[in-house]
Amino acid sequence: MFWWVFAFRGGFALLFAALLYFACGLLGTVFFDPVMLVSLSLILGFFILANGLLLGVAAIFSREHHLRLWYLLSSESLVAIVLGAYISASLMITSHTLAYLAGLHAIARVAFQVHLAIKLREDRPYAVVLALSAIVSVAMAILFLTHRDDTVRTITAWLSAYEAFYGFVVVAFAIGLHRQPRPVASAATHA
């Protein structure tokens, strides 16, 4: 199975969360906000772009294993690549756009987490973890979109906490996939 792709995604999310937390501490102390905003947009764009590429790898392996999750992973990969490329290319990010783009990122995750939870409904532990993760993603999307006027430091701290949570969820999902004696989504292959 391709559990290692999910483990790498989760580890990458945890590394990104730590980097964001560190950058959050530097905001306004070492660097001025415009300099940090440019670096945050590059870091965020690179993370989302790399996440999209890893999802593309997972989609290819899913297709090779004849799992009907490949189209879901492919579409999530495409959304992440487009969003990551847009964030990386638009270096003129503000606190409003940072919150807005983080909210869009969380909303996109919700859509795919819910769909994946439905596809994996026969594998209850996976479906429950994905459903709980989707609920947290909805809460974070609402938080980002309703608090766009907060400081960059606050938004960055929230994004760091959200990515750390997501990283732990994906690592737990990968460990479960690795321990699974049969391919996950066996129901998805017959659906």
DSSP secondary structure string, 134-173? HHHHHHHHHHHHH-TTS-HHHHHHHHHHHHHHHHHHHHHH
pTM over 0.85: no
What's the number of domains the chain is made of? 1
pLDDT digits (tens, 9 = 90+) for 85-139: 888 787 666 778 888 888 888 888 888 888 878 877 777 877 888 888 999 999 9
Q: What is the pLDDT of residues 137-178, one digit of tens each?
A: 999 999 999 988 887 778 888 989 999 999 999 898 888 778
Residue 161 lies in domain = 3-190
Structure tokens at 141: 């999307």
Residue with tokens 């969380």: 106
